Amino acid sequence: MSQLPAILEIGHPTLRKTAQPVDPLDPALPDLIDRMINSVLEANGMGLAAPQIGESKRVVIVASRPNARYPHAPDMPLTALINPKITPLSDEIELGFEGCLSIPGIRGRVPRHAQIRLSYQQVGSNDWVHVDWSGFLARVAQHEIDHLDGLLWLDRIEDNREIVSEAQHFAADT
Ligand code: NI
């Protein structure tokens, strides 16, 4: 197996760039998605955006399933989102804990839209898929799409007291 790409951490300039739209028919896309899937599974992440492995492209993997880092995550098939966009479906905002593979060791309670419509393309097709997500999945989608716009969850925090260490978070969780 080829070596996994390194996951960039906060401070790396690529994480602060606006990522470029992608042609779903680009023959290089399946390889990028394979590398992203390997990385997110290895790291026990819930999602990964291409800029996190140094590719400033609008590609996201959503990998929600229960694991040691997120024991209550919903189980769903791995999904690659090409050029994803979000429309909020209500004014409701929820606070919920998030972590990020690019910000190791801490988590925070981040305000996000509770219900969204997610639109994205799939590999090999110019068609658009539309799904309505709420709760945890809506949060993951908003977190990952923020990465495509050079934003990290810390930028969304309204009160620094909402930031905790990962060890403290798990201590409080159990
Ligand atoms: Ni992240």
Ligand 1 centroid to residue 162 C-alpha, Å: 17
- Check pLDDT > 60 for residue 75: yes
Residue 44 near residue 24 (C-beta atoms within 8 A): no
Mean pLDDT score across all residues of the chain: 94
127 Cα: distance to centroid of ligand 1 (angstroms): 27
C-alpha 5: how far from chain center: 17
Could you tell me how many helices (H) and strands (E) the chain has, helices first?
4, 8
- CATH 3.90.45.10 is held by the domain 13-173: yes
d(CA 36, CA 43): 11
Question: Active-site residue numbers?
Answer: 144
Percent of the chain predicted with pLDDT > 70 = 97
Average pLDDT over residues 118-129: 97
Q: What is the pTM of this model?
A: 0.94
10-56 pLDDT, tens digit each: 999 999 999 999 999 999 999 999 999 999 999 988 999 999 999 99
Distance 79 CA to ligand 1 centre (A): 16
